[in-house]
Structure 1
């Protein structure tokens, strides 16, 4: 590193390069599992982890797609036998539910994601992985709070910032209170 480069600039640059490589590798791997476009794996994983029985509007928010784009995606997933639309008792609402085949594919997507991501960590020692995990938790907390603030400024309410569309909740320790995203959102709501 030359004297004109700061450590922050260097770290930001290599983080950008690494994040693109890791994301490209992961997306290529998980998109091959579903073979239904780039949003299908995230939709299936989100439904598997926390949104099964949710609405098209909720899925749209999680994926960052327009309502009509989400409807088209759900149509494709339903045509493949991965998702079913289930009407509410009053007939006014529709819930999206994974089929057995959809659950199986979502589990495959999450396993493929894990394999892709852990391969990027393979050169690190156990201590380095622990240190990296702590740094990543801090970074995720910062990004989550910033995203919540951006949405609050735009919409006037502090809604869930939805970073977890491809997250494995068991791996992040969400149920044990260890998820940095969930914890940041909870702390920000106080």
Structure 2
């Protein structure tokens, strides 16, 4: 709920809608009292479409930029993410729409802003 800025009941309603649309399924956790959302094949396909559209928009926006300007924009974006990070909740919120292939945890500026004991060690959520 906190990652997407919703109340607990709001997050449950969102999950119910995503599940009804076939985009997520709830899978049992280790203790059987909890069920965790997991993307379905359709949900993963939707993520891929969203990321492709986002990549296209960014590529269009940067089309007229030189390689040096693109690199500078990347460094500036990383610095902004770093400045906004610092807690697990902030990192999760920033990375919630992360392209995990482009930004794995080992080079994620949001993850690197966290104290070592708070780092995930896995791909952004």
Q: Which has the larger radius of gyration?
A: 1
Structure 1 unpaired stretches of 5+: 1-59, 149-158
For 1:104, the equivalent position in structure 2 comes to 45
User: Is the 2:3–2:89 Cα contact (8 Å) retained in structure 1?
Assistant: no
For 1:181, the equivalent position in structure 2 comes to 110
* Aligned residue pair count: 117
Higher helix share: 1
2:63 to 122, 147, 154: 122
SS of equivalent to 1:81: coil
SS of equivalent to 1:86: strand
SS of equivalent to 1:124: coil
Report the CA distance between 1:188 and its aligned residue: 9.1
Equivalent positions of 1:6-155 (< 5 A) are: 60-88=1-29, 90-145=31-86, 148=87
CA change 1:187–1:132 in 2 (3 A) is farther
CA change 1:126–1:62 in 2 (3 A) is same
Take 1:93 and 1:118, find their aligned partners in 2: how far apart are those partners?
41
Structure 2 unpaired stretches of 5+: 119-125
Deviations 1:2-53 (A, max 9, x none): xxxxxxxxxxxxxxxxxxxxxxxxxxxxxxxxxxxxxxxxxxxxxxxxxxxx
Question: If the length of structure 1 is used for normalisation, what is the TM-score?
Answer: 0.55
RMSD over equivalenced CA pairs, Å: 2.2
